[in-house]
Structure 1
Amino acid sequence: VTLDDNLLTISCTKSTSKEDKGENDTYTRREFSYQSFQRSFELPKNVADENNINAHYENGLLRLSIP
């Protein structure tokens, strides 16, 4: 989460990997997947106090408090 002037940007990159092991713990296949997300919001001028923004992530939900 970043704030540049009055532009609030939320972004993340998620990577996952899948491994299939054969006999003797040797790899038969390894797959990797990457997903990224970015969303920007323009806030009203002089509304956000950058030093007091609070972010909390729990159970797949990001909650931002912008005073």
Structure 2
Amino acid sequence: MLQGYGRNSSVLHSPVVLAAASVSASVSASVSASVSASVSASVSALVAAGVAAGVAAGVGLGLGWG
């Protein structure tokens, strides 16, 4: 039992497994940051467009164009 555990333990802590876990975490963080930045940029663009349209409509109504 203890020998089996020792074997499994050494496999889990082998350089290959640790490297794979590190790469996986790195890729995951990078994808997450990329998606987050993309969503943030999209939301910002939509908000800016909405504000610009609202201001234009407000100015138009104020000047009697509406």
TM-score range, shorter chain: under 0.3
Higher relative contact order (CA 8 A, sep 6+): 1
Higher strand share: 1
Q: Which has the larger radius of gyration?
A: 2
More helix by proportion, 1 or 2?
2
